[in-house]
């Protein structure tokens, strides 16, 4: 063969090799994916109605591993006892019927958006009230099939779940809200749910809740037995702590202020009837409105809550201040009646003494000399002298410490008369002075017992 022919033969062979390499470099893997999907999911080759085999191809139950990502918790409703959560839900299982050639590791996985093409676990949320998928802009769901037959299912959903609450310590309480997932039709002989190893539950960073704080979460199993068999179940418990600062500002401090305002009536004059009545009725109505507003945001439960104890005692203190004025007014009228009776009695005695002195002036000297020596038992002058003698002959009483201390509080703004002097003060003013001291002391004692009791019970619950 001539040298020219060798050259053209080598050139032609080099062109063929370069074309072959170029064709290999421009392989359309999307076309490969289509062929693989048609191959493994074609008619008569894969039946989505049949569950996968067990571990290592055995006839045991199919194992599905679950993990969730909590994206947000929008609300926790105390009245309806429910909470709303948005999460990304993932399931992963092995289906050996879906194995395929990864072309030397170039195909990491195949992606599907139609869940009905492959077998799916019949999982449902057992404590769900409402729920919906997200379809903007496209349905937020995908299925990935890996070369060794592993299937990953991921979907974004929003759920409203039931959360039974115990409000005995409200608003110093902690609530546990659960998320339960179970199989609806496959028993544990065919399907078993397990939490994914490592980190089965993830929560978005900086999760913000209006009145709660997510303290921690726990994963567990909750298999249930019914008449139709035993079903696999998973649950995650979310522990929420109620933020107390909101209730301190909106409820506890205003109630304390109303109780303290009701005590102002103890320092008003007992004759200022319109002022004291208006103050008492206004604080009572305001406290009742506050109580009704608090109960409107809570469910009508059969037990007593911590907030009920607080509002009930505060309402009792305000009502007690109003009753105290009624007692003061009654005592004041009683004192006036008693003073009028004493005044009439003194006038009668004075009239008797004047009549006796007139009789003495008209008698003779002998009669005048004899009358002081002979006194009749009913003589008013003799009674007056006898009363003075009894007063001087009485033994001195031992001083009472409490009365001595309370006597330092003047009740008459004009005369500055001490309230506990003998015969110096009316009973109405004495009631006011006692109320000024008793009401704050009893309220302070109640606060001590209330906070120590419920804070201690909160620690026990924790």
Length of the chain: 462
Place of tokens 């201390």: 405
What number of other Cβ atoms are within 10 A of residue 135's Cβ? 9
Tens-digit pLDDT profile for residues 11-33? 555 555 554 444 444 556 677 87
Mean pLDDT of 160-180: 93
Quickly state the pLDDT bin for 371 (edges 50, 70, 90): very low
Quickly state the pLDDT bin for 46 (edges 50, 70, 90): confident
Mean pLDDT of 188-212: 91
Detail the DSSP E strand segments found in 173-288.
174-183, 191-195, 201-203, 212-221, 224-226, 229-231, 233-242
Tens-digit pLDDT profile for residues 412-442? 443 444 444 444 456 778 888 888 999 999 9
| CA pair distance 151, 140, nearest whole angstrom | 17
* SS3 (DSSP) at 400: coil
φ and ψ at residue 155, rounded to 5 degrees: -150, 145
Detail the DSSP E strand segments found in 37-81.
62-77
Averaged pLDDT of the chain:
81
Q: What is the DSSP string of 314-342?
A: HHHHHHHHHHHHHHHHHHHHHHHHHHHHH
Quickly state the pLDDT bin for 373 (edges 50, 70, 90): very low
Rg (CA), the chain: 46
Instruction: Please state whether the predicted TM-score (pTM) of the whole model is above 0.85.
Output: no
| CA pair distance 248, 240, nearest whole angstrom | 18
Out of 154-168, 196-210, 374-388, give the one with best mean pLDDT: 154-168
| CA pair distance 277, 324, nearest whole angstrom | 11
More confident residue, 317 or 374: 317
| CA pair distance 147, 152, nearest whole angstrom | 12
More confident residue, 360 or 125: 125
Omega of the bond leading into 55 within 30 degrees of 0 (cis): no
Contact 233, 182 (CB under 8 A): yes
Tens-digit pLDDT profile for residues 239-248? 999 999 999 9
What's the pLDDT at 405?
Answer: 53
């Amino acid at each position: 063969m001539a040298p020219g022919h060798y050259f053209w033969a080598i050139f032609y062979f080099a062109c063929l090799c370069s074309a072959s390499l170029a064709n290999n470099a421009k392989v359309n893997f999307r076309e490969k994916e289509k062929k693989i999907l048609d191959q493994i999911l074609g008619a008569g080759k894969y039946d989505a109605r049949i569950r996968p085999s067990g571990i290592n191809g055995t006839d045991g139950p199919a194992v599905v591993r679950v993990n969730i990502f909590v994206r947000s918790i929008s609300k926790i409703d105390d009245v309806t006892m429910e909470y709303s959560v948005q999460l990304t839900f993932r399931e992963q299982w092995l289906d050996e019927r879906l194995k395929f050639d990864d072309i030397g590791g170039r195909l990491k996985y195949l992606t599907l958006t139609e869940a009905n093409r492959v077998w799916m676990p019949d999982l449902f949320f057992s404590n769900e009230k409402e729920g919906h998928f997200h379809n903007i802009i496209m349905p937020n769901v995908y299925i990935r099939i890996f070369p060794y037959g592993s299937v990953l299912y991921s979907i974004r959903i929003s759920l409203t779940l039931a959360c039974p609450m115990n409000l005995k310590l409200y608003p110093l309480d902690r609530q546990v809200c659960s998320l339960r997932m179970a199989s609806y039709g496959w028993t544990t002989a065919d399907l078993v749910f397990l939490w994914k190893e490592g980190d089965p539950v993830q929560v978005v960073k900086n999760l913000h809740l209006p009145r709660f704080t997510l303290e921690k979460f726990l994963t567990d199993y909750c298999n249930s037995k019914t008449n139709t068999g035993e079903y696999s179940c998973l649950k995650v418990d979310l522990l929420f702590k109620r933020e107390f600062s909101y209730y301190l500002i909106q409820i506890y401090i205003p109630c304390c202020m109303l109780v303290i305002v009701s005590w102002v009536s103890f320092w008003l004059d007992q004759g200022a009837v319109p002022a004291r009545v208006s103050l008492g009725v206004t604080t009572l109505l305001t406290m009742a409105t506050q109580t009704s507003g608090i109960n409107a945001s809570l469910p009508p439960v059969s037990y007593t809550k911590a907030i009920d104890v607080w509002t009930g005692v505060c309402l009792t203190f305000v009502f007690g201040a109003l009753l105290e004025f009624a007692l003061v007014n009654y005592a004041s009228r009683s004192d006036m009646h008693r003073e009028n009776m004493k005044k009439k009695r003194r006038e009668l005695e004075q009239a008797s003494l004047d009549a006796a002195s007139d009789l003495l002036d008209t008698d003779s000297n002998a009669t005048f000399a004899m009358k002081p020596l002979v006194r009749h038992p009913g003589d008013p002058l003799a009674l007056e002298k006898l009363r003075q003698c009894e007063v001087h002959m009485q033994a001195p009483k031992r001083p009472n410490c409490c009365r001595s201390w309370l006597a330092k509080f003047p009740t008459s703004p004009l005369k500055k008369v001490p309230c506990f002097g003998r015969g110096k003060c009316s009973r109405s003013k004495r009631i006011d002075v006692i109320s000024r001291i008793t009401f704050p002391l009893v309220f302070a004692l109640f606060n001590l017992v209330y906070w120590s009791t419920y804070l201690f019970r909160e620690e026990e619950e924790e």
